[in-house]
Amino acid sequence: QVQLVESGGGLVQAGDSLRLSCAPSGRTFGTYAMGWFRQAPGKEREFVATINWSGSRTSYAESVKGRFTISRDSAKNGVFLQMNSLKPEDTAVYYCAAGLTGGSRDDDYHSWGQGTQVTVSS
């Protein structure tokens, strides 16, 4: 398992952009798929995006396609989430996760960060 730390959240207006970062707290030597999930108050945690170990494949939730982009930080084994055209419904705590194979299910991941708050006002 790896220790993950998210950063980059904040309070923005609708239509603005944010770039989230997820990085290991220390050096890692394995290769992992990475994913982003989010959870709003009173809601179930939902899948946002995932990227495989090499960065050759990505997948997105329908609600964020065309607006969000996931990418890998190959130098530090981390991951980014570029969020453009933010909407109030994007408001949530965003979590990054690492897994052996990736996927859209939270069960596919074995390591999770503590989350970073994203708030989008209308």
Q: Residue 49's pLDDT band (boundaries 50, 70, 90)?
A: very high
What is the helix (H) or strand (E) element at residue 119, kind and residue range? strand 116-121
Q: For 71-82, what is each residue's pLDDT tens digit?
A: 987 776 789 999
The predicted model gives 25-40 an average pLDDT of 82
Tokens of residue 90, six digits: 């994007």
Question: What's the rounded Cα separation, in Å, for the pair 119 and 115?
Answer: 13
- Model confidence pLDDT, tens digit, residues 79-94: 999 999 999 999 999 9
* Coil, helix or strand at residue 92: strand
- Confidence (pLDDT) at 58: 96
Q: Could you tell me which of 119, 120, 121, 109 has the C-alpha nearest to residue 22? A: 109
Per-residue confidence (pLDDT) for residue 53, from 0 to 100 = 84
Q: How many other C-beta atoms are found inside a 10 Å radius of the C-beta of residue 16?
A: 14
Smallest CA-to-CA distance from 78 within 39, 115, 28, 38 is with 28
